[in-house]
Amino acid sequence: MAEIDHIVIGARTLEEGAAFVERVLGVKPQAGGKHDGAGTHNLLLGLGPDCYLEVIAPDPAQPEPPHPRLFGLDDPATRLMLEAEPRLLSWVARTTSMDTVMARLGPRAGQLREMKRADLAWRFAEPPLREAMDNLIPALIEWKGERAGKRLHDSHLRLVALEAEHPEVDSLRRALGERGLDEALKIQQGPHPRLIARLTGKDGVEYTLTSS
């Protein structure tokens, strides 16, 4: 069984990502930190006790990593897309049984990586780009100790729905079911893959983030 851990905004730079979040959602994300060895750094926005928003971008202070950056940030199509503006890239699902899921999925789960940021530590597996169905299949995270989301200020925004559109809905449902995520996404047929996050503020205002 797995559940939504966080949603991911990709950006060329953290400055662009922060400005996008403030413009679209009306709040400023707080400082995150560096992912040493992964070539990225981030900002974070708390969406309640069990979910958050991550802004991630290449870290110019780090050397080129030995493997591609997370969430397709090195993919030419993604880089071209982010030149226009930051946008919703992907989502991450939390599990407490990573080894079981990895054994069941095999190479389709991606490479299992040990990661850390300051005193936070986690295990992470991102499906290969060819298996991710345009980032609609999430990376899996297993926290080792306290989760990042528990430390964040509450923005008073809440993720109320995460939706997906895809021309191959049966394949998408099957892949999510293999990860114990049958109910995580509202899925509907669409001509192009698209991820949609719907949020509300404490004043009832609704906000929408999309991958296209």
CA angle 22, 23, 25 (to 5 degrees): 65
What is the domain count for the chain?
1
Domain annotation covers residue 205: no
Burial 14-47 (b: 16+ CB within 10 A, else e): bebbbebbeebbebebeebeebeebbbbbbbbbb
CA distances from 14 to 2, 56, 127, 135 (A): 29, 7, 24, 21
pLDDT, tens digit only, all 212 positions of the chain = 689 999 999 999 999 999 999 999 999 999 999 998 999 999 999 999 899 999 999 999 999 999 899 999 999 999 999 999 999 999 999 999 999 999 999 989 898 999 888 888 999 999 987 778 989 999 999 999 899 888 899 999 999 999 999 999 999 999 999 999 988 999 999 999 999 999 999 889 999 999 98
Domain annotation covers residue 202: no
Domain annotation covers residue 182: no
**pLDDT confidence of residue 142:** 96
Beta sheet of 2-10, edge-to-edge order:
30-35, 40-46, 52-58, 2-10, 87-95, 139-143, 120-125, 112-117
Domain annotation covers residue 133: yes
Q: Are 86 and 15 in contact (CB under 8 A)?
A: no
Query: CB 198: neighbour CB atoms within 10 A?
Result: 16
Domain annotation covers residue 160: no
**pLDDT confidence of residue 1:** 61
Q: Are 120 and 146 in contact (CB under 8 A)?
A: yes
Structure tokens at 29: 């994300």
Domain annotation covers residue 187: no
Domain of 130, CATH number, reads 3.10.180.10
**Distance from first CA to last CA of the chain, Å, rounded?**
29
Please write down the long-range contacts of 173-176, taking CB distance under 8 Å and 24 or more positions apart. 175/131, 175/133, 175/137, 176/137
Domain that holds residue 142: 2-155
**pLDDT confidence of residue 116:** 87
H or E element in which residue 78 lies: helix 76-84
DSSP 64: P
Domain annotation covers residue 179: no
Neighbour-count burial of 189, counting CB atoms closer than 10 A to its CB (0-12 exposed, 13-18 middle, 19+ buried): exposed
Domain annotation covers residue 89: yes
